[in-house]
Structures are given as C-alpha cells and as structure tokens.
Amino acid sequence: MSDVRNWFNSLPIFTRYWLLLTGVFTLLGRFGILSPLLLRLQYDRFVHNFEIWRAATSVFYYPLNPATGFHFLINCYFLYNYSLRLERGEFDGRPADYFFMLLFNWICCVVAGLLGNFELLMDPMILSVLYVWCQLNKDTIVNFWFGTQFKAMYLPWVLFAFNMIIAGGGMLELVGILVGHLYFFLKFKFPQEFGGRDLLSTPVFLESYFPPQRGGIRGFGTAPTQRVPQTQPGRNVFGGHNWGQGHVLGQ
C-alpha cells in the first residue's frame, strides 16, 4: 500500500485528482451508494431543476457492467497516460495553464452534451486532452493494438474509427476531437500561424491559486526533441578517456 500511495502522490495534481474522482464516482454509482441517475447529465434536470453538479459528475462517472468494464479501463489508461504527459511535458511548471485548458474543454463538453443529449462526458473529455497532446507531438510515433505504429496526429482518428466499427458509436469521440481541436486552434494555431491574439490566455486570478513553478522542461506548442549527447573534452562516446594510440617503450 505504501508503494501505491507513493505512486499516487507522485502524480501531478490535476491528473491525480481527475483519476481519483473518476474511480470514486464510478464505484459509488456501481455499488448503489449514489444513484447513477443523479450522476448523469440530463438537460431538464440541469436547466430547470438547477442540478448543476451533473456537469461535473457526468465527467467522472461511468457505468460499470460486463459490457463496459473494458472500455472504462481503456479510458482510465488514456486519462492517466496523456494527461500525465501534458501536465509534465508541455504544461510543466504551468499548473494554471493546464487547469484553464481542462476548464475550457470541460465547458465545451458540457455544452455539447446538453445540445446533443449526451449524458456521459468521460469519453469526449479524455479525447479532447489526448487530441491536444497529439497535436503538440504530432510526429511522435505511438503504439496501438496488435503492434501497429503511426504518428500521434492520427491517434484520435484511429480511436474514433475503431470505436465506430467495433462498438457502433463514435459520436462521443468525435465531440472530444472537435473540442480538443477548438482549444488547439484558439491557443496555438490562430496566434502562431494567423497572427491573431491569444484568445485563451489564462486568467490572472488562476495563477494566484496555482502559481507557476520553476523547472519547466519544454516550450509551449513544440514537440519534444531528443538531446544529442555531448562528449566532454578528453572522453569518448562511452564515457572513457581518450588515451591515444600509445607507443612502445624505447621508441
């Protein structure tokens, strides 16, 4: 248990609590401690009865049964893997920026859920974060099932096509892709390629709650680059000394 606790505490704050709340609300609904009907996003209840908590619980809750259990585990894997990569990579040292991205994507998912009558928002929320990472690291090679490999920029569309063919769905994944693309376009593409202003600048008051941290390791909007190892003077590439060719004594 101490190893699990250390691993959990080592996670960055937003990935940590997003994963925790997902597990908590899913188990509460699974064992009937909370009614699953109270955790879903329903237009009438949300708008007319002002049950605003549904906007949050619909992101964290996912119904567990033999038919959906594997999909839930896959979602948790993508949540952990790509939220962790973003929070420790492109958003490293910028917790307020990452929180604002999650807030923007969440609001867009809630609006899409109300308009499209989607009661569960776990899929589009995770896909929106995955899409942002894939666009910032579009040339990175990722692995998929059965040993297939391709560039990260294609991963969201592969997931969309896979779910559409296997499960007959795809709409929630498509919403997540559209939300992620909206954030990426307004935050990165519009200012950098079209010379526009940053329409998604993080509000100053968020930085007072989540102040910037030192030690950021990557810049915004660029894919990670591999560092070329440099040898020190007098050392070879294996770390040993360059002793020269040597001479026989007496020559």
- Whether the per-residue pLDDT at 250 is higher than 50: the answer is no
Q: Please, which pLDDT band fits residue 115 given cuts at 50, 70 and 90?
A: very high
Q: E-assigned strands of 20-145? A: 141-143
| Total residue count of the chain as it appears in this document | 251
- Please tell me the pTM assigned to this model: 0.83
Distances (CA, A) of 111 to 31, 41, 42: 29, 11, 12
| 8 A C-beta contact, residue 223 and residue 139 | yes
Q: What is the pLDDT of residues 68-114, one digit of tens each?
A: 899 999 999 999 999 999 999 999 999 999 999 999 999 999 999 99
| 8 A C-beta contact, residue 187 and residue 198 | yes
Nearest to 59 by CA among 79, 88, 82, 86: 79
**Average pLDDT for the chain:** 85
Going by the DSSP 8-state scheme, the letter that residue 147 receives in this structure is: G
Q: What angle do CA 105, 110, 116 make, to 5 degrees?
A: 120
- Which token pair is 2? 């101490």
DSSP 219-236: -TT----PPPP-PPTTB-
Q: Please, which pLDDT band fits residue 171 given cuts at 50, 70 and 90?
A: very high
- Which token pair is 12? 């960055």
Domain boundaries, the chain: 66-209
Q: What is the pLDDT of residues 173-232, one digit of tens each?
A: 999 999 999 999 999 999 988 888 888 999 999 999 999 986 544 334 333 443 333 334
| 8 A C-beta contact, residue 129 and residue 182 | no
DSSP-assigned beta bridge partners for residue 151: 141
Nearest to 135 by CA among 115, 111, 158, 152: 152
Question: How far is residue 32's CA from residue 27's CA, in Å, rounded to a whole number?
Answer: 8
Q: What is the pLDDT of residues 16-38, one digit of tens each?
A: 999 999 999 999 999 999 999 99
Q: E-assigned strands of the chain? A: 141-143, 149-151
Nearest to 91 by CA among 227, 192, 225, 215: 215
Question: Cα–chain-centroid distance for residue 173?
Answer: 14
- Which token pair is 187? 């935050």
